């Protein structure tokens, strides 16, 4: 039977596009490393997203079973390589919790200085790379210019620029440096002579003083930019319930309106580090948000990170003050051959990307029976499927980028 077409528009609207499978990654630049997204698309609309991970899998947990815990610290560096200091801290605290090691105040304050500087560096990359995902290049250059100075300061403290292994069990490998030559980047930005000698502490303060007003510039460049708002606001909406069920943590969780930060709400061994500090936990919704923004969208997640930089700047200032006044040494000796008790413990710390957990099972040997690293990005990424469905293909990089993932941590 031949079909009679009465209204030509019917045909026009009846045209269906074929479903297409599109592979994004693992070498796609906007997937932040080697993440492969398999997209089932209907025209421009994404119907299904399947993330494939594991390209960087090294089975670090298996390696951990064959090493004494201090030897495993460099492996934590290589998980979240953008916030290696915070990863070192997480493992060190877990071991200290298991063996009941207490640190002198000076070591604790030093850890706060380092961890919060690490958070600033990490969020700067998060901001820059997110701009890059959305097609703007300049914020990336600015972010890396700023991060470079933090790396220089870390280099003065421990000699490494990316994989520090600085914070370790019982404190840190060295105390904070006394006097240094000003980092070249900082000298150029603040118009000081490159041979200026200054205290490390003063260099940090000088840098923070320079950085703080720049945040406002980034807001002009990105946060309040109409194109940026159009590409982030109202997209990738993550409800409070979904964020909790899918175990999302860190800025992703707080962007969905859950008031939870382990620095305030964590276990005593971790919150004690921050108990004398004055800082606030950044939680969406925001009064100053543009009208297009809804709770739990890309813009909220991004904005939480930006405001956390401000909080971290204040935390570093406070901790430098306390570090100077604190007493004691910055390291309690911990021998490589120390046998772990036949016990086990789990501890989560607030890393820039979320709650990073370490689970340590000892069995009377220096090497643990089981060493588990629970990745925060792993949980954050697992929600991609729910976030991307129904959006345009071009919005996928915007949504995945807003989760701020690091594949080294997901694949371990």
Partner 1 sequence: MKLFDISQLHQLLLDRFDDSRITAVVSEAVDPWVEVAPAAIHEVCLFLRDEAGLRFDHLNDLTAIDWFEPDPKKAKSFGHEPHLEVVYHLSSYEHLHSTVIKVRLPRWKDDIAGQPPEIPTVSTVWGIADWHEREAWDLMGIHFVGHANLRRILCPEDWVGHPLRKDYEFPLEYHGIRGG
**Site residues, partner 1 (CB under 8 A):** 53-54, 57, 59, 61-62, 97-98, 242, 244-247, 258, 260, 262, 265-268, 271, 343-346, 348, 355, 357, 359, 361, 363, 369-370, 372, 374, 378-379, 382-383, 411-412
Instruction: Provide CB contacts within 8 A for 315, sequence distance 6+.
Output: 112, 116, 274, 277, 279
Nearest approach, Cβ of residue 347 and partner 1 (Å): 9
Nearest approach, Cβ of residue 373 and partner 1 (Å): 10
* Rounded distance between C-alpha atoms, residue 328 and residue 106, angstroms: 6
Tell me if residue 332 falls in helix, strand or coil: coil
Comparing CB distances to partner 1, the nearer of 228 and 358 is 358
Q: Residue written as tokens 């933090």?
A: 150
| Phi, psi of 274, rounded to the nearest 5 degrees | -105, 10
Nearest approach, Cβ of residue 400 and partner 1 (Å): 16
Comparing CB distances to partner 1, the nearer of 110 and 384 is 384
Cis peptide before 285 (omega within 30 of 0): yes
Comparing CB distances to partner 1, the nearer of 42 and 343 is 343
**CA 233 to centroid of chain Cα atoms:** 21
Comparing CB distances to partner 1, the nearer of 216 and 343 is 343
Comparing CB distances to partner 1, the nearer of 198 and 242 is 242
Nearest approach, Cβ of residue 346 and partner 1 (Å): 5
Say which DSSP state 393 is in.
Answer: G
Nearest approach, Cβ of residue 58 and partner 1 (Å): 10
* Rounded distance between C-alpha atoms, residue 216 and residue 210, angstroms: 12
Comparing CB distances to partner 1, the nearer of 81 and 346 is 346
Nearest approach, Cβ of residue 372 and partner 1 (Å): 5
The three-state DSSP-derived secondary structure of 165-207 is: CCEECCEECCCCCCEEECCHHHHHHCCCCCCCEEEHHHHHHHH
Nearest approach, Cβ of residue 239 and partner 1 (Å): 12
Nearest approach, Cβ of residue 266 and partner 1 (Å): 5
Report the first-to-last Cα separation within the chain, whole angstroms. Answer: 61
| Phi, psi of 47, rounded to the nearest 5 degrees | -95, -30
**CA 407 to centroid of chain Cα atoms:** 11
Comparing CB distances to partner 1, the nearer of 268 and 333 is 268
Comparing CB distances to partner 1, the nearer of 64 and 128 is 64
Classify residue 25 as exposed, middle or buried by CB count within 10 Å of its CB (0-12, 13-18, 19+).
Answer: buried
- DSSP for 66-79 reads TS-HHHHHHHHHTT
Residue 331 near residue 272, CB atoms below 8 Å = no
Nearest approach, Cβ of residue 333 and partner 1 (Å): 22
Comparing CB distances to partner 1, the nearer of 338 and 382 is 382
């Amino acid at each position: 039977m031949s079909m009679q077409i009465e209204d030509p528009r019917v045909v026009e609207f009846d045209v269906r596009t074929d479903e297409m499978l599109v592979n994004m990654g693992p070498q796609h630049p906007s997937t932040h490393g080697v993440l492969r997204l398999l997209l089932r698309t209907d025209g421009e609309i994404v119907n299904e997203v399947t993330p494939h991970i594991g390209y960087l899998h090294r089975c670090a947990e298996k390696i951990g079973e064959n090493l004494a815990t201090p030897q495993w610290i460099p492996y934590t560096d290589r998980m979240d390589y953008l916030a290696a200091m915070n990863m070192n801290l997480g493992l060190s605290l877990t071991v200290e919790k298991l063996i009941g090691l207490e640190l002198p105040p000076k070591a604790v304050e030093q850890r706060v200085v380092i961890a919060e500087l690490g958070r600033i560096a990490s969020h700067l990359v998060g901001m820059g790379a997110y701009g890059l995902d959305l097609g703007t290049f300049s914020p990336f250059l600015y972010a890396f210019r700023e991060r470079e100075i933090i790396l220089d300061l870390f280099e003065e403290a421990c000699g490494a620029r990316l994989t520090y292994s600085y914070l370790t069990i019982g404190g840190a490998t060295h105390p904070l440096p006394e006097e240094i030559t000003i980092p070249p980047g900082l000298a150029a930005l603040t118009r000081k002579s490159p041979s200026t000698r200054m205290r490390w502490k003063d260099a940090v303060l000088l840098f923070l003083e320079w950085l703080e007003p720049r945040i406002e510039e980034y807001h002009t460049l990105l946060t309040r930019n109409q194109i940026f708002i159009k590409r982030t606001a109202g997209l990738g909406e993550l409800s409070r319930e979904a964020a909790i069920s899918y175990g999302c943590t860190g800025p992703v969780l707080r962007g969905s309106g859950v008031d939870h930060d382990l620095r305030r709400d964590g276990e005593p061994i971790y919150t004690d580090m921050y108990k004398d500090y004055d800082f606030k936990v950044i939680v969406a919704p925001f009064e100053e948000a543009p009208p297009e923004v809804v709770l739990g969208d890309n813009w909220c997640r991004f904005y939480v990170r930006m405001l956390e930089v401000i909080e971290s700047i204040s935390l570093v200032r406070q901790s430098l003050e306390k570090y100077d006044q604190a007493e004691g040494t910055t390291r309690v000796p911990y021998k490589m051959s120390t046998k772990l008790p036949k016990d086990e413990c789990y501890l989560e710390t607030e890393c820039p990307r979320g709650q990073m957990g370490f689970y340590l099972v000892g069995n009377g040997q220096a090497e643990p029976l089981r060493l588990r690293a629970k990745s925060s990005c792993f949980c954050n990424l697992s929600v991609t499927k729910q976030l991307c469905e129904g959006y345009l293909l071009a919005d996928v990089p915007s949504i995945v980028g807003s989760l701020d993932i690091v594949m080294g941590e997901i694949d371990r």
